[in-house]
Amino acid sequence: MSQRSVLITGCGIVSAIGQDCGQVLDSLLQVRTGVGPLKYLKTEHTEFPVGEVKLSDEEMERMMNIAPGTPTTRTALMGMIALHEALGEAKLSREDLKECGFVNGTTVGGMDKSEQFYLDFIENDSRNAYISTHDCGSCSEMIADRFGRFKMITTISTACSSAANAIEMAADMIRLGEADIVVAGGSECITKFHLNGFNSLMILDHNQCRPFDAERAGLNLGEGAAFVVLEEAGHAAARNARALARLSGYGNACDAFHQTASSPDGEGAYLAMSKALKEAGLKPSDIDYVNAHGTGTPNNDESESQAMMRVFGKDLPPVSSTKSMTGHTTSASGAIETVICILALRNGFIPVNYAFEHPMENGIVPNMDLQKGCKLRHVLCNSFGFGGNDSSLVLSAVE
Amino acid sequence: MIMEKKSVKILSAKQISIQNPLCEEWMENPLNYSEDYVRAVDPDFKQFISAGDARRMGKLLKRALATSLSALQEGGIENPDAIITGTGFGSIENTELFLDALVREGEQLLKPTQFMQSTHNTASSLIGIHTHCHGYNSTYSQKGFSFDSALYDAWMQFRIGRIASALVGSHDEMSPVFSGFVRKAGHVKEGEICSEAAVSVLMAESGDNAYCTLDGVKLLDSPSEDTLKQVLADMTAGGIDAVMTGKSGNAENDSWYGFLDAMLPGIPQLRYKPLFGVNFSSSATGFYASACCLKKGGVPAVLSASGKAKECCKGILVVNVVEGRHYSFALLKPVCGR
């Protein structure tokens, strides 16, 4: 079987720094952080800055023409907005979707409604419709069904690498001829559940997060959704679809170290990046930019630094963590950062690692100057999750 | 190197469910229940997990580890190339404890261990940590389609040539509180036993004493009648002895399998849900039961839904339909020369 090449022919995004690709690009070029005081989530923990999508659930329902009173969740609504943009850009109709796969990544799913209606679920029948929106799979169905029925649907839940693994699975389907088009990505809203969970693990920064900074003190939770349309090259050419980038390689590895901590030498991250490069047939020196996982926790940034230094040695390209502007969008981050990488490739710039000041000992020094007018050939996008589920994607420019 | 078609050996398959654990006693002497919510029969975990480790793990993790280690042991592989897991709810007991404390007691003093275990990929990660496997590791969470998705991914990883062995499992536990929720949501229907299951299947390109071979996996959402006919024609081209269905005795659930009566007339139908109950990992118990039939070379009467399939010489098509829209098909064949 000849090698089937995987192109990206559409992308959509909603995040704290913009509600479509154009807005996100503008924020990246203006170096504008979306992290700020809590506005939409009702929580006692107002001390933590977050990267919220600047829309209420009601506003999103109106944008997506969802009838008031329809059971839905914030994660599903954000997913719909991102998917709407991606399908529009790829010019895929409701009819076309019958031949396309859909792979979503989420972990929190419908927890925003479950934490609101939990006592109702137990005590009465007033909110029963929201029991069915709790799990991850129902979230994917709500997002997909807004636009039609796909050929198949599934959901990956590998914590903060969920969306990256969704993109990998989608690419495998295309390479094997299981489908010519698969739409993949992820969605996750901030909930009290995981804000408190990350707080219980003591990994939230009380200030704007500072990935790779010596004085970094944790992450800022973010939220959002992003989807990319992956398409076999010949199929895209035959229907005159515009290629935005090529997914030239990807790797998935397990750190196999600890449920919530990364190994000191970043073994899983090292393996994920190495596999991605090998599959792409590239040398480390071919990579012009790395969008790091870079959460801002002391543990991740140290471990990821070690892994990057092991992979790249003296050839370390510019690195930045755009979580410094979007917040950590957890399960969606792999897709959100894939879209950011595509924007960087297409517009020839290297995003800034916002808020970095002090180099850490034995760490990498991230990119602090907004470099414009660059010709980027290949970029690497890292996504690492709890449990050591580490994934890396290589995205390449198309002529 | 991508392969057009590939046959993968099922080296072992292990379950912890509402039947006696880590054995095939259910084939001869199944446990019968009159209750509508039944928790799994747990084995003695000491042979797999130290007491200290076990104290920190919820039931789902203990069962996932026990079925996995047991499957690896029987299959004679220590470090599989891939660990791929399905779970509909993840560790729902710890999720519930964290959620309950959050809602009733407010946002202070919440326990990190409960949060950690609420993440769906903890089982796959734990197995990775325990077996020191740095290879491909992923987790699927698509309701009662989670195992099917994990199996499909494993099938692709073999075909794409990335792996030579995989541990594929699906694990769901059920708390008393959530058993009420899944009834209200219709995930478990009238006449069905709300249950728990942990299943681990070891598969590899080669190996001795295999249960059977896996010869195809297909996933579909809302297929047309023509698509269903085509898939069934492709998958049964070499002949099958029986089709394993997810029929439970509930009329709505069973109606989703009506297409099999029309499109596979005369093929005996089997069902596993009356024996293993219903949960988001149910389809894994059906896959497991089918593999056991092929290993023994016969189908026990307790699995028969319609028609009689005594022999098992051509294969079993395992069909799962979730909510009348998600369809999965897995073709299991006897090992050649058996």
Instruction: From chain B, pick out residues whose CB is under 8 angstroms from the CB of A178.
Output: 156
**DSSP state for residue A18 in the 8-state scheme:** B
Same-domain status, B82 and B189: yes
Instruction: From chain A, pick out residues whose CB is under 8 angstroms from the CB of B230.
Output: none
pLDDT in tens, B290-305: 999 999 999 999 999 8
Task: Return the pLDDT at B5.
Answer: 65
List the one residue out of B194, B81, B171, B186 whose CA is nearest residue B121.
B171
The tokens describing A248, both together, are 């030239």
Task: Return the pLDDT at B2.
Answer: 56
CB-CB under 8 Å, B122 with A200: no
The length of chain A is 399
Task: Return the pLDDT at A399.
Answer: 75
Kindly state whether A200 is in contact with chain B, defined as any CB-CB distance less than 8 angstroms.
yes
Same-domain status, B183 and B281: no
Q: Is the pLDDT of residue B3 over 60?
A: no
Same-domain status, B280 and B264: yes
First-residue to last-residue Cα distance in chain A: 25
Q: Is the pLDDT of residue B336 over 90?
A: no
Please state the rounded mean pLDDT for residues A65-74: 95
Q: Is the pLDDT of residue A48 over 70?
A: yes
Parent domain of B219: 212-333
Q: Is the pLDDT of residue B44 over 90?
A: yes
The tokens describing A70, both together, are 């329809």
Nearest CA in chain B to A154: B142
CB-CB under 8 Å, A154 with B110: no
> Angle, to 10 degrees, between the axis of helix A111-123 and the axis of helix B176-185?
100
pLDDT in tens, B190-248: 999 999 999 999 999 999 999 999 999 999 999 999 999 999 999 999 999 999 999 99
Considering its fold, how many domains does chain B have in total? 2
The three-class DSSP label of residue B249 is coil
Task: Return the pLDDT at B313.
Answer: 85
The tokens describing A150, both together, are 């796909």
Cα distance between residue B46 and residue B133, in whole Å = 22
Q: Is the pLDDT of residue B337 over 70?
A: no
Contact residues, B window 210-229, toward A, CB-based 8 Å cutoff:
219-222
- A1 — pLDDT class (breaks 50, 70, 90): very low
Amino acid sitting at position A341: C
Cα distance between residue A71 and residue A134, in whole Å = 11
Q: Is the pLDDT of residue B277 over 90?
A: yes
Domain boundary among A193, A216, A238: A238
- B4 — pLDDT class (breaks 50, 70, 90): low
In a domain, B61, yes or no: yes
pTM comes to 0.98
CB-CB under 8 Å, A157 with B326: no
pLDDT in tens, A236-285: 999 999 999 999 999 999 999 999 999 999 999 999 999 999 999 999 99
Same-domain status, A186 and A273: no
Cα distance between residue B324 and residue A135, in whole Å = 18
Task: Return the pLDDT at B312.
Answer: 80
Q: How far is A303 from chain B (nearest CA, A)?
A: 16
The tokens describing A381, both together, are 């996008």
Task: Return the pLDDT at A89.
Answer: 98
Domain boundary among B204, B235, B263: B204
Contact residues, A window 150-169, toward B, CB-based 8 Å cutoff:
150-159, 165, 169
Angle at A185 (CA atoms; ends A36, A111), nearest 5 degrees: 60
Considering its fold, how many domains does chain A have in total? 2
Kindly state whether B145 is in contact with chain A, defined as any CB-CB distance less than 8 angstroms.
yes
The fraction of chain A above a pLDDT of 90, given in percent, is 97
Same-domain status, B222 and B310: yes
Please state the rounded mean pLDDT for residues A112-134: 96
Task: Return the pLDDT at B310.
Answer: 73
Catalytic residues of A: 160, 293, 328
In a domain, B1, yes or no: no
Task: Return the pLDDT at A3.
Answer: 76
Kindly state whether B166 is in contact with chain A, defined as any CB-CB distance less than 8 angstroms.
no
Task: Return the pLDDT at A390.
Answer: 98
Contact residues, A window 368-397, toward B, CB-based 8 Å cutoff:
385-389
How many CB atoms sit inside 10 A of residue A187's CB? 37
List the one residue out of B125, B81, B45, B303 whose CA is nearest residue A261.
B125
The fraction of chain A above a pLDDT of 70, given in percent, is 99
Instruction: From chain A, pick out residues whose CB is under 8 angstroms from the CB of B142.
Output: 136-137, 140, 153-155
CB-CB under 8 Å, A196 with B107: yes
Task: Return the pLDDT at B158.
Answer: 97
Please state the rounded mean pLDDT for residues A203-229: 98
CATH code: domain of residue A363: 3.40.47.10
Same-domain status, A284 and A230: no
Parent domain of A286: 249-396
pLDDT in tens, A160-214: 999 999 999 999 999 999 999 999 999 999 999 999 999 999 999 999 999 999 9
Cα distance between residue A358 and residue B296, in whole Å = 66
CATH code: domain of residue B272: 3.40.47.10
Q: Is the pLDDT of residue B338 over 90?
A: no
Same-domain status, A209 and A189: yes
Domain boundary among B166, B186, B204: B204
Amino acid sitting at position A296: G
Domain boundary among B144, B178, B204: B204
